[in-house]
Amino acid sequence: MKKIIYSLFILLFIISCQDSNLTEKEKFIEDLISQMTLEEKVGQMTQINLTVIAKGPNKFSSSTPMEIDDNRANKALVEYKVGSVLNTINNTAQKPSVWFKNISKIQEISMNNNRLKIPVIYGIDAIHGTTYTDGATMFPQQITTAASWNPENAYNMAQVCAYETRASSIPWNFSPVLDLGLDPRFPRQFETFGEDPLLVERFGVEMIKGYQGLDNDVSNKYSVAACMKHFVGYHATISGKDRTPAYIPENVLTEFHIEAFKKAIDAGAKTVMINSGLINGIPVHADYNLLINVLRKKLDFQGVILTDWEDIRKLHDRDKVAKSQKEAVKIAINAGIDMSMVPYEYEQFFNDLVQLVDEGEVSMHRIDDAVKRILTLKYELDLFKNPVTDYKDYTDFGSKKHHQLAYKAASESITLLKNSDNILPLKGKPKILVAGPNGNNMRTLNGAWSYSWQGELTDRFAGEFNTIFEGLQNNFGKSNVKYVSGVSYKENGNYYDMVEDNINNAVREARNSDYIVLCLGENTYTEKPGDLNDLNLHKLQLKLAKKLAETGKPIILILNLGRPRLISDIEPLMSAVVNVYLPGNFGGDALSDILSGKVNPSGKLPYSYPAYPNSLIPYYYKPSEVQNNSQGAYNYVGEVNNLYNFGFGLSYSEFKYSDLKVNKERFNMNDSIKISVNVQNLSKIDGFETIQLYSSDLYASVTPDIKRLRDFKKVKVNAGETKTIIFNLPVNELAFVNSENEFVVEPGRFNLSIDNLSKEISVK
């Protein structure tokens, strides 16, 4: 008996010691979980769309103005204990005051009527500014920001977006996108930082810092919890279409797709959203290996794992790996999902998960693990003490200060791709015809996720900003700049067609002009509505370009698009080509300042711009992509056909590279390589140049890439100045992932290159 009592005493002592080692946060969470019923826990794992609890005809659409329906909200938030809400009503942006009123009501219902007073966490897609808030600052999209090759612009965008999202009473942002945008056919390439892993890693980390603060303290009322998405390999589909299957070898997944998430996790990212597609036949939402063995264990991610829209349902409805909705819930939760973006049929998800626990199909340990992470996130956001932030405390919302940062990002990103006979910048006050469907259009400057999901409402909200036409009028005079569209967009269901309206008028006006600024590209789209079967520009846009070229007037082609569309047929007819991508509300001003010479362009392509439909490979292709044979029965010449290469972009300055040096020729595995190069500005114009360092592994056990970007620096080089740029590259950053899925640097020879200069080194 004494031994038993003594053993119990020791056990209690150990437990008390463990408890005393808990932080205040951990004690709070553990105490809360110990009091919660199964139903309360499952409620925390449930996320619903705002329309479900808003006034309106049904759960899919709402009446305006936006108001919370007491009965619907009480059912969801009190009866079913739902712990998270997302999105807006009717796909429309709201004023900060409206957000404050409605989210305050949500928190009031949830916290005043539930015994444990757990706040709701509200999430939103705010990917280049606070998407669903009227008056928010809209920055360039991620692909445009990447074209600046200046990660500071990503930090600024995220910091302003965090501020203005909190001004909208929302603490959780479903951003950044860390997917590798390597396929120009994919409808969401514009949401990425491009095709290069290093660009994605560096810009992604800066986004995390901007959202969550440099000290990673998301209790700060100017910071939000970031959500990395979409883990992992989402864009690497076979078809190039959204949410379709990908087949990715494990070593490729590790080297090219996972590293950006690892860097963001190391930077403190709080949450992650999962890839809606399949990898190697397995839906990622059902993949225990990726979610637990890789994301949780290998990458040590401790935050919340969130589904994408209805993706647990899709395990049954679309992917056919679950025989019922209930089995789909079982598979996803056991695979590691913490919170389900239901978003409508929350009762079914809730009831299914409760039953699965009661039946022993999902363990209480798995439930407690998920709920602990969710409650920890709410605690770190200070929602228990301050569940709602008040827009009145955010005096810089939509401010000139924020606008200047958005303009800076746009002006640094716009990329000059062709400038025959130095036609740009335009001199004096010439007569200019602006033509094309994108020339007088705020919608196309912003792209999707701008005031609405598909961006179709942008012109309603962004009227105070300048289109390309209006921006040019401001710089060159209203009487000197005219606009005739020639062709325009015509909506047709979920896709976008074009209509010819006044090509002859455009040609007639062109004959009376000195220059034609031809604005071609895409209408707004994202996700499935953005899938396409033809990467060529629409035939009516090509017709307009050719008709205008017949006038003999010099044409400056402006590309306003979210992915590179094929222009090989018309590019030779253009005197200049400028890619503005999706530059946001200040894109018209930034472009006008570049065409007039007020700003010297410095953008570089974050992707390869293909010349042909079957030339869609990233710059780090394998040597076998290029095979030449001039003997035997067949003669052929293989080549990679890009219209413009990754990293390419012109300037009004002329830069010359010289004197590439490496500190020695032979290196050990633990060494660092010091590389220096001189960059001279031969022109009379100050300019920014991005110096790009590449490496090539000459021979390896896995066929090496032709080259890989290893470092880059964007620097200002004044007229006539020569600068020495120094890189310090650790040898271990020359690593690749071998067939055993391990990062290795194999002994051998490597080529290091900057511009057209190169040095060969050896590693032993």
Catalytic amino acids?
308
Neighbour-count burial for 59-69, b at 16+ CB within 10 Å, e otherwise = beebeeebbbb
Q: Which tokens hold the place of 433?
A: 């015809």
Q: Would strands 46-49 and 84-86 be described as parallel, antiparallel, or unpaired?
A: parallel
Q: Are 527 and 565 in contact (CB under 8 A)?
A: no
Neighbour-count burial for 717-733, b at 16+ CB within 10 Å, e otherwise = beeeeebebebebebee
Q: Are 161 and 213 in contact (CB under 8 A)?
A: no
Q: Are 605 and 579 in contact (CB under 8 A)?
A: yes
Q: At what angle do helices 587-596 and 400-413 cross, to 10 degrees?
A: 50
Distance CA 215, CA 333 (A): 32
How many residues appear in the chain? Answer: 764
CA distances from 348 to 249, 340, 344, 352, 353 (A): 36, 12, 9, 6, 8
Q: Over 614-645, what HEC string results?
A: CCCCCCCCCHHHCCEECCCCCCEECCCCEEEC
Q: Cis peptide leading into 610, omega within 30 of 0?
A: no
**Strand, helix or coil for residue 148:** coil
- Scanning 414-538, the segments in alpha helix (DSSP H) are 442-446, 458-461, 468-476, 503-511
Q: Are 200 and 194 in contact (CB under 8 A)?
A: yes
Amino acid code (one letter) for 403: H
Closest CA to 347 of 368, 325, 369: 325
Q: Which tokens hold the place of 486?
A: 């020639």
Distance CA 436, CA 444 (A): 12
Q: Would strands 271-274 and 225-231 be described as parallel, antiparallel, or unpaired?
A: parallel
Closest CA to 242 of 193, 194, 305, 191: 191
Torsion of CA 318, 322, 326, 331, to 10 degrees: -110
Q: Which tokens hold the place of 244?
A: 């379709």
**Strand, helix or coil for residue 64:** coil
Distance CA 574, CA 430 (A): 18
Look at the block and give the residue holding tokens 């100045």.
Answer: 721
